[in-house]
Chain A
Amino acid sequence: MNDPKLERFLASLYVDPDLRARFLKNPNEEAVRAGLNPAQCDALKGIDRVGLEMAARSFARKRENKKS
């Protein structure tokens, strides 16, 4: 089971704009690089792209609010 790797990858996608940009250009390459299994890599190709960007912006605002 490599679900902790998957959670780590998702958390990174949510907080790291550079990784997110690379991933959206080539989802499979970044998922493989993160050590995810083929089924997970395959599922990530169909990620909810609109939701990913919205969620990432929302999380970024929350982190900023916590700093202030």
Chain B
Amino acid sequence: MGAEVRAEVTAEIRDAMRDRVGLGWRPELAAGILASLDSIDVIELIADNLFDSPERARALRMLSSQTTVVLHGVGLGMASTLPVDLKRLGKMARLVEFLKPESWSEHLAFVRAGEIEIGHLAAPPRTRSTVEATAENIDTGRKMVGTAPKMENIATLIDPPVSDLDESEWLKRSVEASGAEMLLDLHNLYANALNFGLNPSDFLLRLPLEKVRQVHISGGQFIGDPVSRRLLDDHLHDPPDPVFDLLEELAAVCPNPLTVILERDGSYPPMGLLLAQLELARQALQKGRARERSEVGTVSGVAVC
């Protein structure tokens, strides 16, 4: 079999494990989502909203029997030198058992320290200690839930103090030490790149892309005065064009089929606009895959010559 034919077969195998696009479930979007299931490959449920609401969980179990569902946690705070809260983790384990999602995910963040609740995702100091402790917490999660969570990079407005690793190195080490796969949030990556003076494309290429299986896209807004403004990832705005460009770049280099979820947490536009954004994501994936195929073909051609 020639190199070009082999490349084509490889591409076909990958296409069989196709890329998918989906949307985060929010009660405000429920009617639109249910009316558009033929255009949405995957639905992501926020686990924490269901922990103490058996009625909601039962209703969404119906949904998980009709379409592919993934579960997303926001409150475990696994990137911490403190052990993950076993009570919360137990709730996640029971929800995974009940809903049987395709996978579950959490954030590379800390959200509390003892009784102090920060209220949202905070970037831990990027050190070897937090890499090791994060890996231990993920291992605890794997043991209690039965599968490892996919771990998501977070957006941060503050450059985390007392860090001795840069973000890409810390993410790479955390993913490698834990053996977890990665949920890559492209708007978080974009926001951190803009906020801390990095080139988003270079930043992307320094990440462990062979570990990426899921992707988040969303939007945000600039806050602060013009001199020191920063991009806040608020999920209240449409994903900007550079996020779709990053998705195309990712698809051109990532060897895995990708599940891309659009996150929207308010200022909801009409459902048609959200579906159009899913279509833009599909197009970006297709363009990236086509680039990858053409680059593989070129390399194969050179090898044959």
Contacts and interface: CB of A to CB of B under 8 A. Distances in A.
Query: Is the A/B pair a real complex?
Result: yes
B157 A55 contact: yes
- Between A10, A12, A43, the greatest number of chain B beta carbons within 10 A of the residue's beta carbon is seen for A10
A43 B80 contact: no
Chief secondary structure at chain A's binding surface: helix
Interface string A36-68: 000110011011101110110011101100100
B230 A54 contact: yes
Interface stretch (B6-14, B158-166, B167-175): B158-166
Nearest to B125: A6
A8 interface: yes
A12 to B, nearest CB: 6
B113 A63 contact: no
A54 B119 contact: no
A59 to B, nearest CB: 5
Contact of A3 (B112, B116, B130, B157): B130
Given A48-B158, A54-B224, A58-B157, A1 B117 contact: no
B129 interface: yes
Contacts of B117: 15, 63
Given A1-B129, A51-B230, A54-B223, A11 B118 contact: yes
B120 interface: yes
A62 B162 CA distance: 24
Interface residues of A, number: 29
A66 B119 contact: yes
B110 to A, nearest CB: 6
A15 B116 contact: yes
B228 to A, nearest CB: 5
B114 interface: yes
Contacts, number: 88
B149 interface: no
A32 B221 CA distance: 36
Contacts of B80: 7
Interface string B128-170: 0110010000000000000000000000111101100000000
A53 B113 CA distance: 19
Contacts of B110: 7, 11
Contacts of A58: 120, 157, 232
A3 B81 contact: yes
Interface in B211-228: 223-224, 228
Interface of A: 1, 3-4, 6-8, 10-12, 14-15, 39-40, 43-44, 46-48, 50-52, 54-55, 58-60, 62-63, 66
Nearest 5 pairs of A and B residues by beta carbon: A51-B158, A63-B119, A11-B113, A3-B81, A62-B120
28 contacts: A1-B129, A3-B125, A3-B127, A3-B129, A3-B133, A4-B113, A6-B81, A6-B125, A6-B162, A7-B81, A7-B82, A7-B125, A10-B125, A14-B122, A39-B162, A43-B162, A48-B161, A51-B158, A52-B158, A54-B157, A55-B122, A55-B156, A55-B158, A58-B157, A58-B232, A59-B120, A60-B119, A63-B119
